Structures are given as C-alpha cells and as structure tokens.
C-alpha cells in the first residue's frame, strides 16, 4: 500500500483525517517547511500539502517544491471552505492515477 501523508491545519486537517490518511497538523509555515524537508527525504509516496500553507512558504521552499521531481508526488489541497470547490474530484484526478487508489473526502 502506498504511503500518503498530509500536512494541514484546522478544518482542512480534520477533513483530510476523515479520509483515513495520516495527517500531521501544522500550526505555522516554519513548522510545515521543516516537516516537508524531512518528508521529501523519506520513503513517502504522496505528500498532500494544504494550499493555504503553500501560499505563505518562503521563496526558497517554493523553489524547492517547484523543482522537485520523483517520489513523493506532491499534491496541493485547496481549501474546503469554498462551496463551489470540488476538492474530492481534484484530489481523485491527481492521486488515483499516481498511486492506484482513491481518497474520498467525508
């Protein structure tokens, strides 16, 4: 089975936890950047990052993620607070072809 970890905060973390994947709640961008550095060096298959966190990353981290290739696959999760946002369909279209299974949001 593929190893999937999400980095998120608040409501997004809760919603992702309901999918059954491992979620690490991060309270600030500095902590998120530190965890990402460690996770990029691990045997992780998919790293889901809350979009709201990515918007505040340092230029160095944004560049690092932009230039990243190979495992883990990095997926950005949009906010759940927008009613017209279909986060479930977005994540499915990215993750299912990459790892062979679907993550359904509750």
Model pLDDT for residues 72-87, shown as the tens digit of each residue: 888 888 766 655 455 5
Contact at 8 Å (CB) between 53 and 28? Answer: no
Q: Is residue 98 predicted with pLDDT exceeding 60?
A: no
Reduced to 3 states (helix: H, G, I; strand: E, B; else coil), residue 11 is helix
Percent of the chain with pLDDT over 90: 1
Q: Where are the domains of the chain?
A: 4-99
State the architecture of 4-99 in CATH terms. Answer: 3-Layer(aba) Sandwich (3.40)
Q: 13-22, 64-73, 89-98: which range is least confident on average? A: 89-98
């Amino acid at each position: 089975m593929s190893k999937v970890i999400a980095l998120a905060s608040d409501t997004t973390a809760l919603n992702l936890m309901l999918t059954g994947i491992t979620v690490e709640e991060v309270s600030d961008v500095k902590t998120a950047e530190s965890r990402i550095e460690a996770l990029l060096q691990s045997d992780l298959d998919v790293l889901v990052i809350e979009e709201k966190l990515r918007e505040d990353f340092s230029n160095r981290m944004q560049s690092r993620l932009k230039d990243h290739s190979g495992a883990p696959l990095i997926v950005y999760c949009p906010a759940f607070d927008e009613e017209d946002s279909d986060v479930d369909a977005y994540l499915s279209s990215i993750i299912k072809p990459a790892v062979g299974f679907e993550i359904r949001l509750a």
